[in-house]
Structure 1
């Protein structure tokens, strides 16, 4: 309910799969949830959020009458259907939801919950679960509605992708967004050899493999992430949870030891820490973000990862407010700009329900302003890397085109040979990853060189 009514981030409600602290039972004197229960709660929150549209459509098909439902009753029905259909819970699991409706709503609500869920289990047994149907002659918008219900995405987004990718490719993308996300570890090679850590994790029962994109620095965790977190490897500074697409953005930046580097929108700091490792802790790295609170823990993490004192400076300025001020120019600037986040819907299940078409346009205005501000901080001959975790051209290629039209002193350059795998580069040499193609978060990155 906090996600629906208060706009809470799904990870704050259910607990991010990457969190290390225990989940407390709010308003209860009892001990925090154990790790097994915590994982189950997280799965419920993420799953119900991800499948919300399909669950609500099923409720509309299974209810004897229409009309608005009490918010708590709606959540109980969503939970019950999710557990029965997606988690394949046995029929007796219905009882807990009936009891929940009695306690949180009213006795009559319990009868509704029992009727809807019993109806569902009968359909499950008969292999007759309702499905939205495509009818001959449906328009693209109507087909988008059907696919949006079946794959639990907003129709506007489905139709947008159908126009861009075609129907078959869109269905693959929708399916990818609904899979359990894959998490990766960026190994801190300043403190541990990746081969040694890989072997230790495998011997401890964690299913890991080398990243196909960054095999010398990243391990992909197929199962056992909670075991990794429980071993304290993050607290010891040996690794951090970070998607490979984020790592490839830093590879695109290619920071070198001894350089003066700026991560302009750095929160929460993962890319800055990887850049620091690439720099071997030599030179100067500035991690800036307009939200100082989101960088509060970065200095401590940097120290645990073995970075020398004085190497990292943390700033909290709105980049746009620095326009016109005198600065020591940077050799390299990373602008990982605020964006729609439509490339990370597998990990951020709530984002699909928060975004609207107008958000993409408003983001573009902000991204242009930030690019203009960042450009002033790059020395002649230096490099500006623009990146997002979006797969939308209005936030990616089109922003680069608009920037170059305003800044003739910059030119786009393709990624140098060997810097990134060819499979993640588009025809312009820009980095472009897609969840259904590359099996990682969708992201974009472009190198913009300032002329001498």
Structure 2
């Protein structure tokens, strides 16, 4: 059935209409194998008749459902109801949304723009949920903290007694972190400009380029984004570029550049001097990144698509770079605050496929580092298998490299979980979860080891 859409001349939208649009959006998120934020963007682009003032509440409601996925599913299973978007929404309104049974029934009226009336089974579910709260004493910890089975053992090993506090921090919405582009702007001036827009902005505690906004404004309110004066980038991600520590005049490779966020930070560190090569196996992402580079006023960046991690280009440029960053594809466990759907929908390779891929990428990229140069291995994962274990295996196989301690590359980090590596978590640092290891090739002959061709 085709539902009536909002009319352009409507001045306001009822909460019931917001519920129906949230249902439509949730069904789309469930139906397609794409990240939720991309689906949300396309959803609103295709429905321009939804008033701008109500897009925020729809997004907030969707992400509340995503952040409570396991707990809502637990309640539905407890009462014998299928885990559907509509049942999840009904359960959330009762358990976390502060609504009574009568209020929910009134909202699901079947009127224009409102959700269809409740069925007898749905009314029975509301009766069972009346007076309950989203958390329950008998819930297993992994359910209470929204931890999927595939990551649970690794996260328990990583955090031990701190598992509950770390996972609880992962359930909070992330702030908006901005990185000031020093090629175009001054951090103090950008801070003043954001405050002049009425935004609660502060200097980031770790990154020398960061500003944190403690609410999520509509991005069209931020003209400095369009001019390239600032970029959206989590402070943890900014700190990975700090660990790279590229200098003006260096030759640098961002081996898994993706959308180019860290490439931008590195090139700006270099003050537009030297040469940065952004590599990736996905040519489309590099082409989109190139537009970001132009907007930022950076002209020291070259994009280089690779056929694979062992592309012949790597062999031809062996030992030719001062800095090489491997921001490896990973499970993304550190980004769950921003991407709560990633807990339940693995859209890329699973962990078993990622681990050998990370090792191959690191070994191949290491060939590019010149004697005395630095190799930085980074992930946005919290799992030791993807982080410390990968570095230990690499060092055992590549004796020409040694660890550069964190105290040398980022002395401002005093509470990292590991003395040698950057290891940021939401609970400790209020950043996304990030890992980075700085590895220096000793000033001797380049190893003869070769990654598979």
SS at match of 1:99: coil
> Structure 2 vs 1, CA of residues 297 and 75 (structure 1 numbering), >3 Å: closer, same or farther?
same
CA distance in 2, matches of 1:299, 1:25: 26
CA distance in 2, matches of 1:327, 1:257: 20
Count of residues in correspondence between the two structures: 413
Matching residue within 320, 331, 350 for 2:310: 320
Q: How far does the alpha carbon of each residue in 1:89-127 deviate from its partner, in whole angstroms, 9 at most, with x for none?
A: 565244334539x9988x7x633223323543x32xxxx
Matching residue within 133, 140, 151 for 1:146: 140
1:414 is matched with which residue?
Answer: 405
CA distance in 2, matches of 1:94, 1:149: 28
1:382 is matched with which residue?
Answer: 373
> Structure 2 vs 1, CA of residues 326 and 161 (structure 1 numbering), >3 Å: closer, same or farther?
closer
TM alignment of 1:26-425, pairs within 5 A: 26=47, 31-61=48-78, 63=79, 66=80, 69=82, 74-89=84-99, 91-97=102-108, 99=110, 110-120=119-129, 122-123=130-131, 128-129=132-133, 131-134=135-138, 146-155=140-149, 157-167=151-161, 169-214=162-207, 216-226=208-218, 228-308=219-299, 311-317=300-306, 318-322=308-312, 325-327=315-317, 329-355=320-346, 359-415=350-406, 417=408, 419-425=410-416
CA distance in 2, matches of 1:265, 1:191: 25
Preserved CA contact (<8 Å) 2:154 2:383: no
SS at match of 2:322: strand
Deviation at 1:304, TM superposition (A): 1.6
Preserved CA contact (<8 Å) 2:72 2:134: no
Q: Say if 2:13 is the partner of 1:4.
A: no
SS at match of 2:278: strand
Deviation at 1:402, TM superposition (A): 0.7
CA distance in 1, matches of 2:382, 2:32: 27
CA distance in 1, matches of 2:126, 2:309: 53
SS at match of 1:293: helix
**Structure 2 unpaired stretches of 5+:** 1-26, 444-453
Deviation at 1:401, TM superposition (A): 0.9
CA distance in 2, matches of 1:234, 1:332: 28
With normalisation by structure 2, the TM-score equals 0.83
CA distance in 2, matches of 1:10, 1:344: 13
CA distance in 1, matches of 2:171, 2:314: 45
Q: How far does the alpha carbon of each residue in 1:142-199 deviate from its partner, in whole angstroms, 9 at most, with x for none?
A: xxx61122233224534543344234x1111221111111220001121111111111
> Structure 2 vs 1, CA of residues 383 and 12 (structure 1 numbering), >3 Å: closer, same or farther?
same
Q: How far does the alpha carbon of each residue in 1:384-430 deviate from its partner, in whole angstroms, 9 at most, with x for none?
A: 10000011111111111111111122112213537341325454421
CA distance in 2, matches of 1:99, 1:320: 58
1:24 is matched with which residue?
Answer: 45
Matching residue within 409, 423, 435 for 2:426: 435
Preserved CA contact (<8 Å) 2:71 2:144: yes
> Structure 2 vs 1, CA of residues 213 and 306 (structure 1 numbering), >3 Å: closer, same or farther?
same
CA distance in 1, matches of 2:379, 2:225: 25
SS at match of 1:387: strand
With normalisation by structure 1, the TM-score equals 0.84
> Structure 2 vs 1, CA of residues 205 and 42 (structure 1 numbering), >3 Å: closer, same or farther?
same
Preserved CA contact (<8 Å) 1:98 1:114: no
